[in-house]
Chain A
């Protein structure tokens, strides 16, 4: 964000403004995917840290960039967790400590939905999560770099894939 014609002080203030405007939303997008609130907040901070260090510009694009970065951070974490679960018995002691917030058990339905998200293609999972967070078709297109005219079709396909995988694994 810091550029020769963009003084550091201005950049810092601008970053503060962006943080105030978007942090809660970013953390909640990640919190949809990652069960542990403390971990979701850590990842949200990482997203803003990346923004600070990146050359991403300000303005309308920042919201889209943050949406994309948030959903990807959450899905990456979800897939890591899925991989780790496979060999937990043997290297389970490497897993992160469970925070008090994480100790309450996720509902079975949440576990199922997250397990299916981990299986879908990145684009399908990103679309479903961001759509469920309330993004419009236009915002989805901006966040994921897609043609707005194709969002309806792509979203239907993502929903269809989600439904098929869910039904295959868990029935109706």
Chain B
């Protein structure tokens, strides 16, 4: 058994590794205080939104014929998730993002989470215990297209026979992610969200734009065309997983229908995480954590 001095010495040594090697800047801090603007309110330049950017690609998959009547905007509801092995960072645009709150906000009860999110969350019966709940969002974002950058990206992707239309220059595409309910259980997390909405100007040549975007992402002409057709029939949220990521993907069957199973692996080949993504009529659910695929399916099937 370890003596108290030994324990003292051991913990002191561990915690000593956290001693900062930098000096706080008092002048900068005073300026911040004097401006009376807490940093939590400072506008932030957000990182490129890979998943969101990819979703914005799909806004363009709407057939142009949807732009009818007197509407200035088309609004599309994405009722599922499609996982594709591409790197959305290849898309030549950045996003302007507005987030309701930058971190998830704790909800003490399911009712409180429902009130904050605007829909009633569902929970797995398999766990037999209440989760810790939090709500994230809503989030709105927009992107302004730049025809020259699109063409450059096409050329870089080796699709120089495809042209980006000049009239796309300055076109604004928008997305809204409504609040996401996050339920944390020991070793796993369940997220659920209502369909994302995507907005684009009426009359925008979406199908053509979609193919362009997927060519930029590295898909061949046939694949890009197929993705566009698939989306036109069943619009979904697109989740890009770069090829270099050590992830195995396969479709599995749940009681409620098909689901996508992702298994992340560490560099040493060990399993890091299992993720299951599926959609029912009014929401998409994402279950992620340290569990076997069978366990993930059992948990998903117990969601009520």
Same complex: yes
Residue from B7, B8, B47, B51 within 8 A of A97 (CB atoms): B47
Q: How far is the CB of B302 from chain A (nearest CB, A)?
A: 20
Chain B residues numbered 234-268 whose CB sits less than 8 Å from any CB in chain A: 239
Q: Which residue of B lies closest to A86 (CB)?
A: B189
Scan residues 28-48 of chain A and give those whose CB is less than 8 A from a CB of chain B: 28, 31-33, 37, 40-46, 48
Distance in Å: Cβ of B283 to nearest Cβ of chain A? 14
B residues within 8 A CB of A96? 44, 46-47, 102
B15 touches A113 (CB 8 A): yes
B25 / chain A contacts, CB cutoff of 8 Å: 41
Q: Are the CB atoms of B46 and A44 closer together than 8 Å?
A: no
**For residue B20, which residues in chain A have a CB less than 8 angstroms away from its CB?**
28, 31-32, 37, 40
Known: A31-B24, A94-B139. A83 touches B184 (CB 8 A): yes
Closest B residue to A172 by CB, please name it: B10
B304 located at the interface, meaning its Cβ lies under 8 Å from any Cβ of chain A in the complex: no
The chain A residue sitting closest to B35, CB to CB, is A45
- For chain B, the count of residues having a C-beta within 8 Å of the partner chain is 55
Q: How far apart are the CA atoms of A95 and B11 in the complex, in Å?
A: 31
A-chain residues with CB within 8 Å of residue B24 when the two chains form the complex: 23-24, 27-28, 31, 37, 40-41, 44
A107–B29 Cα gap in the complex (Å)?
27
Does B48 interact with chain A (Cβ within 8 Å)? yes
Question: What is the bound-complex CA distance between A80 and B17, given in angstroms?
Answer: 21
Decide yes or no whether A65 CB sits under 8 A from chain B: no
CB neighbours (8 Å) of B71 from chain A are none
Q: Mark A71-97, 1 if CB is under 8 A from B, else 0.
A: 000000000100110110111111111
Asked whether any CB of chain B lies closer than 8 Å to the CB of A1, the reply is no
Distance from A130 Cβ to chain B, minimum over Cβ atoms (Å)? 10
B residues lining the A interface (CB < 8 Å) = 2, 4, 7-8, 10-12, 14-20, 22-26, 28-30, 32-33, 38-40, 44-53, 97, 99, 102-104, 134, 136, 139, 180, 182, 184, 189, 191, 239, 275, 286, 288-289
Give A residues with C-beta under 8 Å from B: 19-20, 23-24, 27-28, 31-33, 37, 40-46, 48-49, 52, 80, 83-84, 86-87, 89-98, 101, 107, 109-110, 113-114, 128-129, 131-132, 156, 159-160, 162-163, 166
Given contacts A31-B22, A42-B32, A159-B7, 4 further A-B contacts (CB under 8 A): A91-B180, A159-B8, A159-B10, A163-B10
